Chains A and B, each alone.
Chain A
Amino acid sequence: MTRVDACHIFEAYKMNKNKIIEIKDISAGYNGETVIEDVSLEIFGNDFIGVIGPNGAGKTTLIKTILRLITPYKGEINYIFKAHKSEAPIGYLPQVNTIDHRFPITVRDVIMSGLLSRKKLIKRFTKEEKKKADILIKQMMIENIASKPIGELSGGQMQRVFLCRAIISDPELLILDEPNTYVDNKFESELYEILKKLNEKMAIIVVSHDIGTISSFVKTIACVNKKVHYHKSNIISQEQLDLYKCPIQLITHGHVPHTVLESHDN
């Protein structure tokens, strides 16, 4: 299959799929400074987008805008979720260094916090919700640490816990910010297997500075460097990166690992 064919199949596949987010010409940043400019992007129900770009290029700003943590200076974002708007059906895994590791909270409580919503500010969690957490804890194989304070976890365990928090509410979109920092290679490959499975149920956006690892898992690539260039394939060459003014190096041994995933076709 040539690259052109893959793109065609991809387009056809996308046409039938439900759009969940529509970003139109947004500019955003902090304290009046523009970090990302004129960004337009459409996100569909089973997307698996890798967001790449150099440090400070606006990767985190882009996802924070999607998460409504930042209000864009101009442009608009439309959310076309199945769930009601107040439900905020986006799961988010922040960069681990933004978390206070010595906060006195247990793993189970962190996971349960993913279920908090406007309607649940007062109400206690139900038995079903607690059961849901138990099932998730089992699936992620973290039963042995469920009652521990988060301060005692390793980097990989921490990511599992925060992934549980992000998905316990069954979001329609899962956003991960640099999930592969502070973790070992073993967990990293496990993580991508988990994400592949989750992608059957939800759209995924994963931010990474390590394009080599993510390109074989994601379906499409968004290059962020103030502007966003959306590359509708997971195959990307150094020439294309240069064209997108995305100054990152493809570090490979011999050749760039170009793989189109099978799940593209179904």
Chain B
Amino acid sequence: MIELLQYDFFVNAIIAAVLTSITCGIIGTYIVSKRIVFISGGITHTSFGGIGLGYYLGFNPLLGATVFSLLAAWIIEFMSKRTDVREDSAIAILWSFGMAIGIIFIFITPGYAPNLMSYLFGSILTVSHIDLIMMLAITIAISLFFSIFYKTILFTAFDEQYLKTRNIPVELFNYILMGFVALAIVLSIKAVGIILIISLLTIPQSSANLFVKDFRKILFYSILIGLRGSLTGLVASYYLDIPSGASIIFFLVVIFIILRIIKYLITKKSSF
């Protein structure tokens, strides 16, 4: 284990795992509590369009993903309030449209598309210094925003109508938060890939929610569970030579199942 730390790429991967766990712990708790997991799925898959565009025009695909997921997040937020389109249908349309654009652009890009799999399934072992700096910036921004506006975020997520009667700029907060959801998704593309992001945003929270029912506690436990799962998955992926993203998700689910069994045993014991 120690010898792994001699490799720069592995240290980078650990830092990326830590940053991803923190960001996904925070944003995931917001998503799960507010029941907008499906929206996050839509944003995630729409971002693939940006990746394709990046390939085609020759700029960093993650930059394209950032633009596309931010747009998707704000379009969904806008549609959910202002038009007669049903929100879930709108999300489904964006979801598949983003994927379609991505596939088209990658298809018309001359030559072989390198690293395409790494965006779909993640490749935390290849994060660059620039990636890490981007991740760090996003993590700091999200952590700061949540610690400064914690109670406003909690209360808006719980009952936004009531806060509107109290003259709180709820919509502004929703747009900012959806922006952070989009950024958190982009940040996680490197770690687990587009296909698996949704689990990084929900499994730690569902695990924590087995034992705690308070937003703040779910948030902190989710970060811890995310750290445990991603670090174990990372090391396992190295030794077993399996894809890192899938390995991380696998261990997160294992943690969930273990915690579920522990909870079952506790409730069974206390019922006697």
Q: Tell whether A105 pairs with B168 under 8 Å between CB atoms, given A116-B152, A116-B163.
A: no
Does B263 lie at the interface of the complex (its beta carbon under 8 Å from any beta carbon of A)?
no
Complex-state Cα separation, A18 to B166, whole angstroms: 22
Interface segment out of the listed B89-97, B118-126, B154-162, B184-192:
B154-162
CB contacts under 8 Å to B, within A116-174, are 116-118, 121-122, 124-125, 149, 151, 165, 169
| Residue contacts A-B, CB under 8 angstroms, 8 given | A67-B165, A87-B167, A103-B157, A114-B162, A118-B169, A121-B149, A151-B213, A169-B166
**Which of B152, B165, B215 is packed against the most chain A CB atoms within 10 Å?**
B165
Q: Tell whether A113 pairs with B167 under 8 Å between CB atoms, given A104-B215, A104-B218.
A: no
Q: Considering only CB atoms and an 8 Å cut-off, how many residues of chain B contact the other chain?
A: 27
- Do the beta carbons of A105 and B158 come within 8 Å of each other? yes
Does A88 lie at the interface of the complex (its beta carbon under 8 Å from any beta carbon of B)?
yes
| B84 and chain A: residue at smallest CB distance | A31
In the complex, which of the residues A100, A106, A112, A117 contacts B167, with contact meaning CB atoms closer than 8 Å? A117
In the complex, which of the residues A67, A104, A113 contacts B155, with contact meaning CB atoms closer than 8 Å? A113
| A98 and chain B: residue at smallest CB distance | B161
- Do the beta carbons of A104 and B213 come within 8 Å of each other? yes
The smallest beta-carbon distance between B148 and chain A, in angstroms, is 6
- Do the beta carbons of A109 and B167 come within 8 Å of each other? no
| B205 and chain A: residue at smallest CB distance | A104
In the complex, which of the residues A99, A114, A149 contacts B214, with contact meaning CB atoms closer than 8 Å? A149
Residues of B within 8 A of A94 (CB): 159, 161-162
The smallest beta-carbon distance between A98 and chain B, in angstroms, is 7
In the complex, which of the residues B152, B158, B166 contacts A103, with contact meaning CB atoms closer than 8 Å? B158
- Do the beta carbons of A69 and B155 come within 8 Å of each other? no
- Name B residues whose Cβ lies closer than 8 Å to a Cβ of A: 33, 35, 84, 148-149, 151-152, 154-155, 157-159, 161-169, 209, 212-215, 218
B-facing mask of A15-44, CB < 8 A → 1, else 0? 000000000000000010000000000000
CB contacts under 8 Å to B, within A68-99, are 68-69, 86-88, 90, 92, 94, 98-99
Main secondary structure of the interface of B (DSSP, over half): helix
The smallest beta-carbon distance between A122 and chain B, in angstroms, is 6
- Do the beta carbons of A92 and B165 come within 8 Å of each other? yes
**9 shortest A-B CB distances, which residue pairs?**
A149-B213, A113-B155, A88-B167, A67-B165, A104-B215, A92-B165, A121-B152, A104-B213, A103-B158
Does A6 lie at the interface of the complex (its beta carbon under 8 Å from any beta carbon of B)?
no
In the complex, which of the residues A90, A100, A113 contacts B163, with contact meaning CB atoms closer than 8 Å? A113
Q: Tell whether A105 pairs with B148 under 8 Å between CB atoms, given A67-B165, A100-B158, A110-B158.
A: no
In the complex, which of the residues B33, B159, B168, B215 contacts A121, with contact meaning CB atoms closer than 8 Å? B168
The smallest beta-carbon distance between B237 and chain A, in angstroms, is 32
Complex-state Cα separation, A96 to B221, whole angstroms: 30
Q: Tell whether A104 pairs with B167 under 8 Å between CB atoms, given A116-B152, A122-B148.
A: no
| A106 and chain B: residue at smallest CB distance | B214
Complex-state Cα separation, A125 to B142, whole angstroms: 22
Q: Tell whether A69 pairs with B159 under 8 Å between CB atoms, given A104-B214, A104-B215, A106-B214.
A: no
The smallest beta-carbon distance between B96 and chain A, in angstroms, is 27
Complex-state Cα separation, A125 to B161, whole angstroms: 21
